[in-house]
Amino acid sequence: MLRLMSLVEQWQEIERSLPEDWADARLALTIDDEAQRIRSLALLGPLVPARHDRQIRFFVARRGAGPGPDAARRLLRLLDREGIAATLELLSSARLAPSPEPSPRRGLTDAWDLSVAELPEDWSDLYCEVELTSSDHLERAALLLAPVNPARYGGTPGFRFRAARVFGYGASAQMTRRCLARLDEARIPGELRLLRVLSDTKPVGTQGPVWYVGGKVV
């Protein structure tokens, strides 16, 4: 005579039939004996069961809030130990939502284009900062940024430099963009910040304005 499958074994069969990316499962226990149904409702309390005629229905969630597969297995084992005769079936299941693709990291050239696009049309002078993700890139980045006359600052791995649009101190906008493109081409990641900006400057007898940062002219 064939041995009836225990509820734990029935659950294991259902688990094996679910897709690898299953998120939750809606299950039903069919129990003919009324006394056993009442007892099962009590034992399955953590699963928040609901009675539906001869069935007891509940959810099992693989992730997030709600009882998980291990909790269902443990509680069904309690029913097996009490000799409760029941049939477990899968009513429905849902899959996990696909993980979003990581957005590509924005390069320094793109950061420059976006930053400049937000400036006033008559901007003339910029004081910029490139913070690198690792000090391992400092030496190589300094060489690639040489045309903009980069200067180290503080303990942060990065450089500061000036850019000028028409005249004055600092590299031209075109040269600045080209140097940042060199960092992108060398796969040196970092973050670009525009620290200071001047617009509509009209120097008389000088090359342009200067800034004092930390008591020093930059």
Q: Is 59 among the domain residues?
A: yes
**CA–CA separation, 198 vs 211, rounded Å?**
10
pLDDT digits (tens, 9 = 90+) for 61-109: 887 667 889 999 999 999 999 999 999 999 999 888 776 665 566 799 9
Q: How far apart are CA 208 and CA 202, in angstroms?
A: 8
My answer on whether 87 and 145 are in the same domain is no
Domain count, the chain: 2
Closest CA to 89 of 45, 19, 2, 25: 25
For the entire predicted model, the pTM comes to: 0.52
Residue of 155, 147, 109 lying closest to 131 (CA atoms): 155
Q: What is the CATH number of the domain that holds 29?
A: 3.30.70.790
Q: Residue 161 in contact with residue 150, Cβ under 8 Å?
A: yes
Quick one: pLDDT at residue 1? 40
- Helix 173-185 to helix 108-117 angle (10° resolution) is 150
Same domain, 120 and 149: yes
> Does the CA dihedral 202-205-207-210 come out positive or negative?
negative
